[in-house]
A and B are shown apart, each in its own frame.
Chain A
Amino acid sequence: MKKKEWIILAVIALAALIMLGVMKMIPKNSAERDPSLMPEEDAKGIWVAVVNRNKAILYFDSGIDAEYQVTGNVSDMTIEVADGRWRVKEVECYDFTCKNMGWVDEEAILPIICLPNDIVIVDAETAANMISEVNDGN
């Protein structure tokens, strides 16, 4: 590889690192609660939404250890909640990216996304914004 090519790769890597740093500094989304899109009572942990086809199909409290079953576009999915964290325990799609993401908590930068099932598991406030943004666009 030429020297110029190494420089370009270094610039790309540096840009990615700067983007990561900036993301860490940006405060998390703190949208106001929309009661039509979120449970009204206070959660022990935080409310987490399971969004399928731009609709919240399940809300769960991250402070209560439990297992939930939801159905996506192609298969069922089992979500496990324990110690304030949540993960996809079982899914029958071909991809398993969501399952491989492992445990996620409220500090996680990325939500759990299952593309084949079109399911996003994300904190309820972010989910409310996702749903309302889609609705605004309609």
Chain B
Amino acid sequence: MGIERTRRFVYLALFSAMAIVLSMIESIYIGPVFFMVRIGLANIVALVTVKILGVKEMIIVNIMRVVISTLMRGMIFSSTFWISLGGVALSSIVLILMEKAGSSLMFTSVIMSVAHSVGQVIVVCFFYMQAGVAAILPYLLLGSIPMGFLTGITARLVLARIKPLKKQRE
């Protein structure tokens, strides 16, 4: 039991670190692929975490990723932080619902990507007090679908190579 617990902590730490690094690489070096649409590399880690460790751990990884990556860029509690948190909160809720509904990994990834965009747009609308900012939403929705497939395919490739710890415990 002790080794199992330690292994889970190690995985949690590794996934958190990977999510933070991917999030920072994407925001600093990669940027938007098309218009304002980003790949969402850190979503791959969220998908892998929920399958390998479980829902609670996925929430921890996502919170760590938002807090630490914005803290390291000196943007903690700025508009960027809240927008990022809005996207991550909604996509995490959707991921939990999809996981409970037993949806396929690819569909979960795409819907999660869409939810991330919607969450960010909602927070941006609040920040600028302009419902018109929601005009960006259709572009983000259309861009989120291929990006969701991309992250889903990557997550599937990763999951094929790692043993799920949550099943070992059952």
User: Chain A: residues with CB nearer than 8 A to chain B?
Assistant: 1-2, 5, 8-9, 12-13, 15-17, 19-20, 23, 29, 73, 94-97, 100-101, 109-110, 113, 115-116, 118, 120, 126, 130, 133-134, 137
Q: Is the CB of A1 within 8 A of B107?
A: yes
Name the B residues within 8 Å of A113 (CB-CB): 128, 133
Contact partner, B31, options A100, A118, A126, A133, Cβ 8 Å: A100
Contact partner, B136, options A1, A9, A100, A110, Cβ 8 Å: A110
Count contacts between A and B, CB distance < 8 Å: 74
Indicate whether A97 sits within 8 Å of B78 (C-beta atoms), given known contacts A15-B141, A115-B83.
Answer: no
Q: Is the CB of B107 within 8 A of A2?
A: yes
User: Chain B: residues with CB nearer than 8 A to chain A?
Assistant: 27-28, 31-32, 35-36, 73, 75, 78-80, 83, 103-104, 106-107, 110-111, 114, 128-130, 132-133, 135-139, 141-142, 145
Indicate whether A116 sits within 8 Å of B138 (C-beta atoms), given known contacts A5-B103, A9-B110, A100-B31.
Answer: no
How far is the CB of B59 from the nearest CB of chain A, in Å?
24
Alpha-carbon gap, A110 to B128, bound state (A): 13
Name the B residues within 8 Å of A73 (CB-CB): 78
Q: Is the CB of A16 within 8 A of B141?
A: yes
Q: Is the CB of B36 within 8 A of A97?
A: yes
Alpha-carbon gap, A63 to B165, bound state (A): 63
Contact partner, A13, options B31, B73, B103, B142, Cβ 8 Å: B142
Alpha-carbon gap, A18 to B25, bound state (A): 34
Q: Is the CB of A9 within 8 A of B145?
A: yes
Alpha-carbon gap, A12 to B143, bound state (A): 11
Q: Is the CB of A23 within 8 A of B129?
A: no
Contact partner, B106, options A1, A16, A96, Cβ 8 Å: A1
Indicate whether A130 sits within 8 Å of B107 (C-beta atoms), given known contacts A94-B27, A97-B36.
Answer: no
Name the B residues within 8 Å of A94 (CB-CB): 27-28, 73, 75
Q: Is the CB of B145 within 8 A of A13?
A: yes
- A sample of 23 cross-chain residue pairs with beta-carbon separation below 8 angstroms, ordered by A number, consists of A1-B106, A1-B107, A2-B104, A2-B107, A5-B103, A13-B141, A13-B145, A16-B139, A16-B141, A95-B27, A95-B80, A96-B31, A97-B31, A100-B31, A101-B35, A109-B135, A110-B136, A116-B78, A116-B80, A126-B132, A130-B128, A133-B129, A137-B129
Alpha-carbon gap, A118 to B124, bound state (A): 11
Q: Is the CB of A19 within 8 A of B138?
A: yes
How far is the CB of A56 from the nearest CB of chain B, in Å?
14
Name the B residues within 8 Å of A2 (CB-CB): 104, 107
Name the B residues within 8 Å of A5 (CB-CB): 103-104, 106-107
Alpha-carbon gap, A15 to B142, bound state (A): 10
